[in-house]
A and B are shown apart, each in its own frame.
Chain A
Amino acid sequence: MNRRAVVYAALLVVAAGAGCGSQRGAGGSRTLNWYVFNEPGGAYDAAVSRCNRQARGRYRINYVRLPTDANQQRELLVRRLAAKDPSVDIAGLDVVWTAEFAQAGWIRPWTGPRRAQAIRGRLQGPLRTVEYRGKIWAVPFTTNTQLLWYRKDRVPPPASDITWNRLIDQASRQGKAIEEQGNQYEGLTVWVNALVEGAGSSIVDQRGQVRLDPATTRRAAEVIRRLATSRAAPPGLATNKEDEARLGFESGRSNYALNYTFIYASAGEKKGFQPKIGWARYPRTVAGRPSRPPLGGINLGIGAYTRQPALAYDAALCLAQPANQVIAAEKGGLPPTSETVYRDPGVRKAFPFSELLRTSIQDGGPRPVAPAYGDISLAIQKSFHPESQIEVTAVVSRLRERLAKAAQGRIF
Chain B
Amino acid sequence: MEAARIGAPPAGARPAGLTERSRGERRLAWALCAPAVITMVLVTGYPIGYALYLSLQRLDLRFPTERRFVGLSNYLDVLTSSTWWEDVWNTTVITVLSVGLELVLGMAIALVMHRAIFGRGPVRAAILIPYGVVTVVAAFAWRYAFDPASGFVQGLPFVSDTAAPLTERWGSFAVIILTEVWKTTPFMALLLLAGLALVPDELHEAAKVDGANAFQRFFRITLPLMRPAILVALLFRTLDAFRVFDTVFIQTQGANGTETVSILGYNVLINRVNLGLGSAVSVLIFIFVLLIAFFFVRVLGTSTAQQRGEA
Contact = CB atoms under 8 A, between A and B. Distances in A.
A71 interface: yes
| Chain A contact surface mostly | helix
B81 A410 contact: yes
Contacts of B273: 78, 82, 374
B272 A374 contact: yes
A411 B277 contact: yes
Q: Which of A185, A235, A236 has the most CB of B within 10 A?
A: A236
B253 A236 contact: no
Contacts of A244: 147, 149-150
Interface in B261-291: 264, 267-268, 270-274, 276-277, 281
B63 A371 contact: yes
A156 interface: no
A100 interface: yes
B167 A236 contact: yes
B63 A184 contact: no
Interface in A214-238: 235-238
B31 interface: no
B270 to A, nearest CB: 6
Given A244-B149, A251-B149, A412-B81, A236 B271 contact: no
A51 B67 CA distance: 41
A239 B252 CA distance: 8
B255 A385 contact: yes
B160 to A, nearest CB: 10
B148 interface: yes
A385 B166 CA distance: 12
Interface residues of B, number: 36
Contacts of A371: 62-63
A409 interface: yes
Contact of B166 (A239, A247, A251): A239
A244 B149 CA distance: 7
Contact of A236 (B58, B147, B264, B268): B147
B255 A184 contact: yes
Contact of B63 (A78, A103, A248): A103
Contacts of A372: 62, 272
Interface string A367-400: 0000110110010000001101000000000000
Nearest to A244: B149
B78 interface: yes
Given A236-B166, A238-B167, A411 B268 contact: yes
A215 to B, nearest CB: 27
A137 to B, nearest CB: 14
Contacts of A375: 272
Contacts of B12: none
A248 to B, nearest CB: 5
A136 to B, nearest CB: 20
Contact of B61 (A82, A239, A406, A411): A82
Given A75-B270, A78-B273, A185-B253, A411 B167 contact: no
4 nearest CB pairs, A to B? A184-B255, A238-B167, A235-B148, A411-B81
Given A236-B164, A378-B267, 6 more contacts: A78-B273, A104-B61, A235-B149, A239-B167, A251-B149, A374-B272
Interface of B: 58, 60-64, 77-78, 81, 83-84, 147-150, 162, 164, 166-168, 252-256, 264, 267-268, 270-274, 276-277, 281
